[in-house]
Amino acid sequence: MADKIGTVEALEKRQDWLAPYATDWQASRGRYFSESPSVTRTPFQRDRDRIIHASAFRRLKQKTQVFVAHEGDHYRTRLTHSLEVAQIARSIARTLRLDEDLAEAMALAHDLGHPPFGHAGEDQIDACMVDYDGFDHNAQTLRIVTKLEQAYPHFDGLNLSWEMLEGLVKHNGPLLTGETALEALPAAFRDFPHLEDLELTTFAGPEAQVAALSDDIAYNNHDIDDGLAAGLFSLEELMEIPLVGDVFREVMDEHPVLDRPRTIKEAVRRLIGLWINDLTEETLKRAAEAKPKSAADVRAMDYPLVAFSDGLDERQRALRAFLYERMYKHYKVNRMRSQAKRILKELFELFLAEPDTLPPPLRHDAEQTQGARRARIVCDYLASMTDTFAIDEHRRLFNLDSMI
């Protein structure tokens, strides 16, 4: 790759403190478009800053995980979730002596490809795109940071470092296995001309693995908070869940007169700490056994370096099963999902059939093509929308009252 990053002298000592298997910013594989290195930031600090300033990142403030944005301001959005994941990732990376900036940048960027209306929105857009190579939010994240963000004069995308792109693509594990061929990957992955350079058959670097499990820690515990606040399940029901119930009882025993909101906040805070401590202990144990000498050694391992213990994983599955049934499948959430799917389905069908209803310059691009290429333009437009914008756009196009 071009733009082999030079030395930022003021930051060299910090690298010496890191674990031998941490990603070395001084040995970064660089960027696909040549740029002069920053004299004040490492490549990964620069990546983080580019994510924060991206339009796609700002739009996360009105994209939701479970609830639709207008349901209430106190529920988490993709933006607040990403900030919480970044805080957890940075804390874990510091404890493990990994590159905090790279872990933080991964965490901030991991949800950029999500469409409006959470998983319901992704399911619906994927269904709309079934004849046009489908939709995948991880692949869409890669598409955003390499193509759709257009803020720089000499290239499309954000021109992130190789390590960032590799981590975004593989943070959940190798993209290609013995059962998965390149041709089976989502189109938004395959459209990236350097995809195979990202070593698709190996695990990601340690910082990307930290970011991925920080995501699990954040949504496991914050869904408890949001679900209780929404009244989707009771505290008494939650107390029946292994580990979670133990922590809530511990808080109640220590603080018998504490009000309900503070009890919940304190229990969730302790649960997050419990998850973090388990992950760091298990990861340090694995590092001591595998003895990786570099980030490349971590990628080449037969199993992930960063992981929860088997005991916590088992208890985590019980919590996820409870949340799936009592929160994600609650009739109130199902109603929101149903409405969200109809909005996206009707918008997709209209824009595909009548590209002249798209705003410029999308209108011009869509009118000049058809089939899969037009569908991808529409898909990109829908995926970029916030919840509120999608609702308003649907109202403008399908509600005659909005034209008066």
Q: Which of 102, 82, 118 is nearest to 42 (CA)?
A: 102
Percent of the chain with pLDDT over 70: 93
- Containing 222, the helix (H) or strand (E) segment is helix 206-229
Facing residues of 77 across strands? 64
- Which pLDDT does position 70 carry in this prediction? 47
> Where do runs of H (alpha helix) occur along 232-353?
235-238, 244-254, 260-290, 295-300, 310-323, 331-353
Please give the Cα distance from 250 to 243 (Å, whole number): 10
CB distance 350 to 103 below 8 Å: no
pTM of the full structure: 0.92
Asked whether residue 73 carries a pLDDT value surpassing 60, the answer given is no
Q: Which amino acid is it at 265? A: K
Burial (CB count within 10 angstroms: exposed 0-12, middle 13-18, buried 19+), residue 56: buried
- Containing 54, the helix (H) or strand (E) segment is none
Burial (CB count within 10 angstroms: exposed 0-12, middle 13-18, buried 19+), residue 261: exposed
Asked whether residue 72 carries a pLDDT value surpassing 80, the answer given is no
DSSP reduced 3-state for 77: strand
Q: Which of 215, 172, 200, 210 is nearest to 23 (CA)?
A: 210
Q: Which structural domains are found in the chain, ordered by start?
A: 9-198 (1.10.3210.10), 206-323 (1.10.3410), 333-403 (no CATH)
Asked whether residue 326 carries a pLDDT value surpassing 70, the answer given is yes
CB distance 383 to 140 below 8 Å: yes
Structure tokens at 190: 């395959």
Q: Write the pLDDT tens digit of every residue in 370-404.
A: 999 999 999 999 999 999 999 999 999 998 775 54
CB count within 10 Å of CB 58 equals 12
Q: Write the pLDDT tens digit of every residue in 11-64.
A: 666 677 899 999 999 999 999 999 999 989 999 999 999 999 999 999 999 998
Please give the Cα distance from 371 to 176 (Å, whole number): 28
The DSSP secondary structure of 4-15, one letter per residue, reads -----GGGHHHH
